[in-house]
Structure 1
Amino acid sequence: MDYVLIVLGILFLISGILGAVVPVLPGPPLSYIGLLLLHITGRYHFSSRFLILWAVITVVVYLLDYFIPIWGTKKFGGSKRGVWGSIIGLVVGMVFFPPFGIIIGPFLGAVLGELSSGKQSHEAFRSGLGSFLGFLAGTLLKLIVSGMMAWYFVAEMTS
């Protein structure tokens, strides 16, 4: 049974790393499940403190992934309409155009929101760029967290 759990854990870790880049898959939660699967084997164990810490990190990164593009829009001069456009674009993109809609939706939403508030096209584009850079920052954060969980998985197996 341990071998089945280990193989499943590896599959979840690989899916988690892919999910850090592919918007449809929830990367860090999948990676965390991989850690849990290794933990419930009879051979390998993580401390409760370690598992709780990584559960908190997973939840925080998962939530930040939705807010970082909004923050990027604001940071690049976006107005409330640009922020709302980014949020609406994220939802519309997720629902109607997965997986690429999650990338393009916030950008287009921020641009359209800024244009509707009377901003010039270069200002609207700048807000959209902030949303896109926020998306990239969130992706990098998810990739780092999923990669670290994979490293801990391998380190535990080789110790």
Structure 2
Amino acid sequence: MELVYWLIILLFFLVSFVGLIYPIIPGVLFLVGGFIVYGLLFSFEPFNWLFWSIQSLFVLLLFGADYLANLFGVKKFGGTKAGIWGSSIGLLVGPFIIPILGIIVGPFIGAVIAELLINKRGLNESLKVGVGSVVGFISSVITKGLIQLFMIVYFFLVVL
């Protein structure tokens, strides 16, 4: 039965990484959910105040990394708030319209359309902002992936 419990916990962790690519999946909740499932199925005893403090800090970093990477990518390439909003909307909608590729194409198109329509920018400037949104998204995925990996490694160090 213990093997089944570990498979459930690992499934939670796996889904948290899927959430990096499909932002509609609340990856952070699945990651923390894996810790809670461990506590429910095994024991909460290994999780002291230091464990929860460190994990909480990294949860905050995950949220911050997502926002800051998108902001940095769009702003660095000359985008505005409209570009950031367009990129964010494209990030959520893109994967449903164009499976797999939509995760890259969605933020790009969203940022470009927002800059064209709302800020009345030229096509070249808008395309540059679209590239920035993709750079921001990829930076975010890498950063959040590393943070999540650290959180999981720390979890295993505490429980094993």
Would the TM-score normalized by the shorter structure come out above 0.5?
yes
2:26 matched residue in structure 1? 26
Is the contact between residue 58 and residue 151 of structure 2 (CA under 8 Å) also seen in structure 1?
no
The gaps in structure 2 that reach 5 residues or longer are none
CA pair 67-99 structure 1, distance change in 2 beyond 3 A: farther
Q: Which amino acid aligns with 1:55?
A: S
Determine the C-alpha separation between the residues in 1 that align with 2:151 and 2:57. Answer: 13
Quote the sequence identity (%). Answer: 32
* Higher mean displacement: 14-23 or 71-80: 14-23
1:136 matched residue in structure 2? 138
Give how far 1:56 is off.
Answer: 4.2
Is the contact between residue 20 and residue 28 of structure 1 (CA under 8 Å) also seen in structure 2?
no
Determine the C-alpha separation between the residues in 2 that align with 1:155 and 1:53. Answer: 13
1:48 matched residue in structure 2? 49
* Higher mean displacement: 139-148 or 97-106: 97-106
Give how far 1:77 is off.
Answer: 0.4
Q: TM-score, normalised by structure 2?
A: 0.75
CA pair 17-93 structure 1, distance change in 2 beyond 3 A: closer
1:145 matched residue in structure 2? 147
2:123 matched residue in structure 1? 121
Is the contact between residue 76 and residue 127 of structure 1 (CA under 8 Å) also seen in structure 2?
yes
Higher relative contact order (CA closer than 8 Å, sequence separation 6+): 1
Q: TM-score, normalised by structure 1?
A: 0.75
Give how far 1:133 is off.
Answer: 1.0
